[in-house]
Amino acid sequence: MKEFISKLLNGMSIGVVVALIPNALLGEILKLLIPYYPPFQHLLDITIFTMSLLPVLIGVMVGITFKLTPIQTASVGIASMVGSGVIVKTAEGVMTLNGIGIVLNIGITAALAVLFVQFLGDKLKAYAILLMPTLSILIPGMAGYLLLPYMQKSTGFLGQIIDHITTLQPVLMGAIIAMIFCVIILLPISTVGVATVIMLSGIGAGAANLGIVAAGVGLAITSYKANSLGTALAHVLGSPKIQMKNFLMKPKIAFPMLITAAILGALAGVLNIQGTPYSAGFGLSGLVGPLNYMNLAEGGWNARNITVMLSTFLVLPILLNVALIYVFARKLKMIKAEDYKLNFD
């Protein structure tokens, strides 16, 4: 069971990075360039569309991780899409892709699909190419689809808890929300989904964003020795969610990031760092968080706001994480570089 979950989470992590990185790298830059060169709008739309392919990519990556056959792998990808919640039918009857889906439900559906195609094995013989994709939609795919409303409710319940926390004193609220989002970004739960369910905005959204920054920067620093530079940077430029498997296996690896998140979140309350429901789900990815803060800050791009932005989104996350990683690794000996090893082979 441990090996099964490990492979599942590894496949999900790869799928998340592949689907989200194009928009993370290009999204905000393209938005700045589109007024001067409108054809870039098409490229931006493509990166957003790619994000909605997350369920298929997770399913395919999970299939590859389990070393399934091409037909089995494709069937897992199809089933994952069915159970994702990405497909929406408009009032006009048009089928569209909306968002990235419920990541937790995508993972559950992918797991069911893997078990299903492994159970079938070569029983279908020459009819595999005809029956396996169809049966994968009818059985694990529809099982995931039936689970979807319950998973959506669980996201809503988590959102209600966070919504209640926003009524607390700003500094305390900021610290708690930053820590919550620092953890959520390492789980098979969409931070954007949670934030948009309750329309998290203001200091709460700013604190949430800094919590994700704390996770991304900290994991990039501490995982550098165990991984390549590109993989380390993917925690910041893409998503810290690539450490999902390692975090769920060893939650203690996030202790330095959690403390950093608490400090940064408290500073959000002190310095009035704000955000939007959209920016709350991103860290430094695509520079969404810093740019939204600058757009919302009173005075705009003045010297004070630029200093606050650079300090809270870059300098302090690095300094705090470096210090805390040193304490937890060298003094307390609770974590080591190997704990953050990622295998994308």
For the segment 182-204, what is each residue's pLDDT rounded down to a tens digit? 999 998 887 877 887 777 888 88
Please write the tens of the pLDDT for every residue from 210-269.
999 999 999 999 988 888 888 888 888 878 888 988 998 899 999 999 999 999 999 999
In this prediction the pTM is 0.81
**What type of residue is 317?**
P
Strand pairing partners for 276? none
pLDDT over 90 (residue 130):
no
| H or E element that contains 95 | strand 95-97
Closest CA to 40 of 54, 52, 24, 29: 29
97 contacts 88 by C-beta, under 8 angstroms = yes
For residue range 146-167, list pLDDT tens digits in order: 998 888 887 777 778 887 887 8
Is it the case that residue 312 has pLDDT exceeding 90? yes
Q: Which of 138-147, 159-168, 303-312, 329-338 has the lowest mean pLDDT?
A: 159-168
> What average pLDDT is seen over the chain?
88
Q: Which of 54, 32, 55, 56 is nearest to 43 (CA)?
A: 32
pLDDT of residue 207: 92
